[in-house]
Amino acid sequence: MNKISIIFTSIFLSILCFTSISQAQPTNTQGLDAKQRGIVTIAAFTANGDLEKLKTALNEGLDAGLTVNEIKEVLVQMYAYTGFPRSLNGINTFIAVMEDRERKGIHDELGREANPLPTNKSSLELGTEIQTQLVGAPYKSKITTFAPAIDQFLKSHLFGDIFGRDTLDFQSRELATISALASIGNVNPQLQSHLNVGFNVGLTEAQLRSLVSVLEDKVGKKEADNAAAVLNKVISSRTP
C-alpha cells in the first residue's frame, strides 16, 4: 500500500468510527420536543427555588416556542405542588425575564387565555371527573378517608380549578408535575402516582425517560437517579 492509499484509508476509518459513535449515542432528550423540555426545566427550577437557573430555563422555553400564557400556567400550577412562595418567586422571575426581553426588542407570543370553566357543574364535580380520567378510576385512599377535607380540596381546586383550565393539555401538566416532584425530593409516593398518570394521559416510556435525562443534564444526578428508580418501579408494576 502506497503512502496516499494509507492516508485515505486512515481518513475513511476515522469517519466510519465517528459515525458509529454518533449512532450508538442518541441524544439524551429523544422523545421530548424543545417545548416539552422547556416545561420540564421551568417546573424543576421553580420547584427547587434556583431562580438563576430558572431565568435561563424561561428564556430557553420562550425561544423554543412556549407562549407567555403557557409558561404562566406552569408557574401558577406549581403552587399546588411546591407552595405559594416558590410559585410567586417563579412568577416574579418571569416578570423580570419578560421585561429584559422587551428591552432587547424581543416580542414573545402571548398565546391564548384559558376558556371559562363549565357553568353547569361545580369545581368539585368537574375535578372529580378530571381526577377519575387521569387516575383511571374513582380515587379513594386511606388519606382521603382519614382527612375528607384534603380529598375535597384536591378534587375541587387542584383538578377542577387548575387542571380544568385548558391553557395546557394534561400531558404538559403532568410533565410539569413530575418534574417538580422529582426536583423537590422526598415525595416518592406522589412522584410514583403522577408517573402512572403520565402514562394514563399518553406520555410514552421514551418521553418519561427523556424527562429523567433532562433532569440529569440540568438539575442533578441525585434527582435523576431517584426519578429513574421510581419510573422503573412504575413500569414494572404496569407490565402484564
pLDDT (tens place) for every residue of the chain, 240 residues total: 454 444 444 444 443 443 333 333 343 446 999 999 999 999 999 999 999 999 999 999 999 999 999 999 999 999 999 999 999 999 999 999 999 999 999 999 999 999 999 999 999 999 999 999 999 999 889 999 999 999 999 999 999 999 999 999 999 999 999 999 999 999 999 999 999 999 999 999 999 999 999 999 999 999 999 999 999 999 999 977
C-alpha cell at 195: 408517573
Phi, psi of 223 (to 5 degrees): -65, -40
List domains and CATH numbers for the chain: 34-115+165-238 (1.20.1290.10)
pTM attached to this predicted model: 0.86
130: left (phi over 0), alpha (psi -120 to 50) or beta: alpha
pLDDT, position 30: 61
pLDDT, position 239: 79
CA angle 164, 170, 174 (to 5 degrees): 115
d(CA 106, CA 109): 10
Q: Is 119 exposed, middle or buried (0-12, 13-18, 19+ CB in 10 A)?
A: exposed
CA distances from 178 to 24, 104, 121, 199 (A): 28, 33, 29, 12
DSSP state of 157: I
DSSP state of 136: S
CA distances from 61 to 57, 113, 199, 222, 236 (A): 6, 18, 24, 24, 33
d(CA 86, CA 38): 18
Q: Are 125 and 159 in contact (CB under 8 A)?
A: no
Calculated CA dihedral for residues 145, 149, 153, 159, nearest 10 degrees:
20
